[in-house]
């Protein structure tokens, strides 16, 4: 069985968690594939028995059972661009702060590894966004798990974003920007801009304006089989497009459309976890801090 481990980088303080993870995996018949940034950071990892090294999507073995992401939510967003359409689920182990997407905390590593090898875990298949433009943007990774945003540049005043659903005008947003979020991404930038929380398996997208000039404009939930297209007016010649953690500067004459990607990505959670337990633990719902 092949288990891959990805991380943006592991600090000296976090290294014991990586060592514990590798030690737990070695108790089972498995081959461990490590992201090359880890072996460059800690060359001694190359000497571990049954260890392979990968650098990205192309050299990640197709028969990998699980990719373990060590870090926070941003690390999982990176991991999505590595597994892509290979149908390899991602288990996030939280070494960061909030960790909405992570399936286990650093003190649950042994429990998580045991679940992997005894098949006592749940895979949630999450929908993705796909971005198309009248010119290519985001290269060969035009998809994201969380959200897509159109943003004004820092020096520009607010922009006008003409927004269409399946070719019909929805609204023109006079604002600092606009977010299109998946249900997964509803707990991210969308939440910070007062958008609604959406259950992960809901077949929907959320459109949320950023600092709209019209007081009667509010976020809206739409079916995820919609095609959302945009035309941007700005005093500046360019605006910013953001897709998860990636950004591009785009000229205002470029037309953009967003639709659901034709594949999904599996996110692993342990059997005793659920979206509601995550909300309660991460957002302190139900906690009375007056006492």
Model confidence at 90: pLDDT above 90: yes
Query: Do 178 and 242 belong to one domain?
Result: yes
Distance CA 97, CA 249 (A): 29
- The total of structural domains in the chain comes to 2
User: So what's the pLDDT on residue 198?
Assistant: 95
pTM surpassing 0.85? yes
User: So what's the pLDDT on residue 291?
Assistant: 60
Give the model's confidence band at 235: pLDDT under 50 very low, under 70 low, under 90 confident, else very high.
confident
Model confidence at 108: pLDDT above 70: yes
Query: Do 46 and 168 belong to one domain?
Result: no
Model confidence at 273: pLDDT above 90: no
73 is catalytic: yes
User: So what's the pLDDT on residue 160?
Assistant: 95
Catalytic residue among 19, 63, 73, 224: 73
Query: Do 170 and 80 belong to one domain?
Result: no
Structure tokens at 254: 């470029």
Most confident of 141-150, 234-243, 270-279: 141-150
Residue 108's domain spans which residues?
Answer: 2-126+264-283
Query: Do 37 and 110 belong to one domain?
Result: yes
Domain membership flag for residue 289: no
User: So what's the pLDDT on residue 155?
Assistant: 74
Domain membership flag for residue 291: no
Give the Å distances, CA to CA, from 278 to 5, 111, 232.
Answer: 23, 18, 37
Long-range Cβ contacts of 107-116 (<8 Å, 24+ apart) = 108/270, 109/17, 109/20, 109/21, 109/24, 110/20, 110/24, 111/270, 112/270, 113/21, 113/24, 113/25, 113/27, 113/28, 114/24, 115/270, 115/271, 116/3, 116/65, 116/66, 116/91
Query: Do 178 and 194 belong to one domain?
Result: yes
Average pLDDT over residues 145-162: 91
User: So what's the pLDDT on residue 100?
Assistant: 82
């Amino acid at each position: 069985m092949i288990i891959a481990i990805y991380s943006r980088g592991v600090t000296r303080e976090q290294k014991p968690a990586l060592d514990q993870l590798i030690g737990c995996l070695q108790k089972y018949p498995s081959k461990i594939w490590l992201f090359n940034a880890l072996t460059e950071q800690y060359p001694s990892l190359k000497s571990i028995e049954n260890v392979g090294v990968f650098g990205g999507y192309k050299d990640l073995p197709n028969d990998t059972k699980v990719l373990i992401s060590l870090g926070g939510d941003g690390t999982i967003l990176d991991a999505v661009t590595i597994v892509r359409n290979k149908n390899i689920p991602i288990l996030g182990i939280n070494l960061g702060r909030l960790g909405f997407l992570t399936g286990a905390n650093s003190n649950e590593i042994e429990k998580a590894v045991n679940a992997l090898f005894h098949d006592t875990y749940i895979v949630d298949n999450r929908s993705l966004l796909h971005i198309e433009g009248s010119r290519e943007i985001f290269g060969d990774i035009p998809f994201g798990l969380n959200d897509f945003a159109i943003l004004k540049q820092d020096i520009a005043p607010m922009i006008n974003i003409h927004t269409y659903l399946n070719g019909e005008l929805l609204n023109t947003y006079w604002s600092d920007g606009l977010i299109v979020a998946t249900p997964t991404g509803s707990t991210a930038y969308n939440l910070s801009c007062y958008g609604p929380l959406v259950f992960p398996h809901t077949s929907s997208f959320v459109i949320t304006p950023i600092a709209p000039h019209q007081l009667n404009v509010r976020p809206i939930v739409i079916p995820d089989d919609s095609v959302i297209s945009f035309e941007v007016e700005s005093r500046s010649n360019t605006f910013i497009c953001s897709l998860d953690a990636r950004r591009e500067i785009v000229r205002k004459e470029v037309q953009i459309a967003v639709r659901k990607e034709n594949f999904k990505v599996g996110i692993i959670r342990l059997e005793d976890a659920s979206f509601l337990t995550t909300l309660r633990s991460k957002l302190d719902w139900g906690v009375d801090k007056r006492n």
